[in-house]
Structure 1
Amino acid sequence: MTPSLLKIAITGIVSCLFISLTAFVIPFSVGVTTARNASTTGAPVNHTLYDRLLKKYVNEKGLVNYRGFKHDQKELTKYLDMLSNNPPADKWSRNEQMAYWINAYNAYTIQLILNHYPVASIKDIGSKVQIPFVTTPWASKFFKIGGKDMSLDHIERSVLRKQFNEPRIHFALVPAATSGPRLRNEAYQPDKLSTQLDEQGSDFLNNPAKNAISPQRASLSKIFDWYKSDWQKSNKSVDYWVNRYSSAKINRDTPISYLDYNWGLNEQ
């Protein structure tokens, strides 16, 4: 074979190899990109199923009929499976993401109670020696969201508190405790989230069993002590949040103490 013919043959072989390799690599690359984008383009979750369950098993005082809820646990599981398989996407609005995470926290808390019911307190679940953020019920990774092991602590601390500058979440997250905020008998919805959080704040601050407030003295819920750094964000203060919702007002000179927290189950 002459040098010219040999050169032509080699060039043809190289061209064929390049085309074959490209045919393999390009579809593979597109597949990876599509898979990556699929997890970030889902539509916001519909909370209707959860809303229906709350209306059925939670009364106007925020107390839960866990015994009755137990009979509908499969329906709750359907909702939780939907949450698990549809994590918030970047394109979701801030309120869509917040409503998702608040509902997730409260719904998974209900599931945790139902999984161990009957129980007198959420703190009776799990290890007898409870180390904060390590062995508590809130630290237990008993569910998945988007394929990742998840805990209630993670939702509260690493998602809601870290990613959103919104102290009012503490009026909405319900740890299944008597001293906690009222569990609404409706789901949180993106289009009315701010109104719902304001209603929670007013309900919580004006409940004498959870906050005893007068101009002379304020005995507040421990959540104002535990999450003081959240209440003080954006140059706000605890007294600012109290006065925003309480019918009785305080000032910076009003002595503040904190009530004991009752971890008894928020049961009807």
Structure 2
Amino acid sequence: MTKVFLSLFIILTSSFYSAASIAKPLSYWDKSGPAISQDVNHSQWLHILNHYLIVGEDEASINEFNYQGVTTADKVILKQYLTQLQSINPLQHTKAQQQAYWINLYNALTVQLILDNYPVKSITKLGERFFSFGPWDDDAAVVNGKTLSLNDIEHEILRPIWLDPRIHYAVNCASYGCPNLAATAFTANNMEQLLTAGAYAYINHPRGVTVKGDDLEVSSIYKWYAEDFGDNDQALIEHLKRYAKPQLKQALQSFQQNPGDIDFEYDWRLNQSE
């Protein structure tokens, strides 16, 4: 029975973890056009964020989403936005514009998935495949005639093309353990600011990093995507120190000098407002 249970667990989790390794960029998507004056219009996504994202009042809070409160009219606006994005050829835009495009598409698709299945306690309860652990391998969008899943967007486009670990602080999985859903739409102009702000907010929150005596407790993101953060404990701690506040940075320095155990935790509960 133990072997059977283990096999079932591997099947259940494989859809989420199988894409953790950085794929080589799909040559089709690793292209860009010349600089153009007109960026992709993300105003409809900003409208949704402005009305339904509950931004924490302080750094100890987590941004929550009011899924229950989304009106029928605004559900239509979200679907119109997703239709608009899928009608665009992102390769005609600059790399910076494309990065914003893919992040916003990923986040908007995730919110749409929750709304389509609400009420649900966790995104991990969704998924069309037998024994699936979440919807990440399901068909989610069609761009340039190519069908893409959320895993395709994150692991075959965003991570391998931009090679920036801060991507993990930008894409949101609708869970309390995840980095915050940004309160504004990503654009080419605010990309650097939002990526850094996301890293700073997550690393300085207990769900991201907590030092407990000789033990270091961090988000499971740093385990699932270890290669993005240097693929060893020392490199991970250097990454964390880069964005840590002085007190946390000092604690991480002490841990680095006298290594203890690193524990990984994640909260898959839906990031909904009560």
TM-score, normalised to structure 1, is 0.77
Q: Are the aligned partners of 2:214 and 2:261 in contact in 1 as well (CA < 8 Å)?
A: no
Q: Please list every run of 5 or more consecutive structure 2 residues that lacks an aligned counterpart in the other structure.
A: 1-31, 57-62
Q: Please state whether the residue corresponding to 2:70 is helix, strand or coil.
A: helix
Q: Please state whether the residue corresponding to 1:75 is helix, strand or coil.
A: helix
Distance in 2 of aligned mates of 1:216 and 1:173: 31
Distance in 2 of aligned mates of 1:182 and 1:161: 18
Q: Structure 2 matches for 1:63-102, cutoff 5 A?
A: 63-71=64-72, 72-90=74-92, 92-102=93-103
Tell me which amino acid in the other structure corresponds to 1:146: N
Q: Structure 2 matches for 1:10-89, cutoff 5 A?
A: 44-61=39-56, 62-71=63-72, 72-89=74-91
- Tell me which residue corresponds to 2:152: 154
Query: Alignment identity in percent?
Result: 31
Distance in 1 of aligned mates of 2:71 and 2:125: 18
Q: Structure 2 matches for 1:112-191, cutoff 5 A?
A: 112-126=113-127, 127=129, 129-130=131-132, 136-191=134-189
Tell me which amino acid in the other structure corresponds to 2:47: R
**How much is the aligned-residue C-alpha RMSD, in angstroms?**
2.2
Instruction: Report which of the two has the higher share of helix.
Output: 1
The one-character-per-residue Cα deviations of 1:69-113 (angstroms, maximum 9, x if unpaired) are 2531100011101110113125x3222111111111110000111
Moved over 4 A (4+): 39-43
TM-score, normalised to structure 2, is 0.75
Pick 1 or 2: higher relative contact order, CA cutoff 8 A, min separation 6: 2
Change (3 A) 1:240 1:45: same
- Tell me which residue corresponds to 2:229: 231
The one-character-per-residue Cα deviations of 1:19-66 (angstroms, maximum 9, x if unpaired) are xxxxxxxxxxxxxxxxxxxx9789531111111210110011320000
Tell me the matched-pair count.
223
Q: Please list every run of 5 or more consecutive structure 1 residues that lacks an aligned counterpart in the other structure.
A: 1-38
Change (3 A) 1:146 1:228: same
- The structure having more radius of gyration, on CA atoms, is 1
Q: Are the aligned partners of 1:70 and 1:114 in contact in 2 as well (CA < 8 Å)?
A: no
- Tell me which residue corresponds to 1:105: 106
Distance in 2 of aligned mates of 1:88 and 1:117: 30
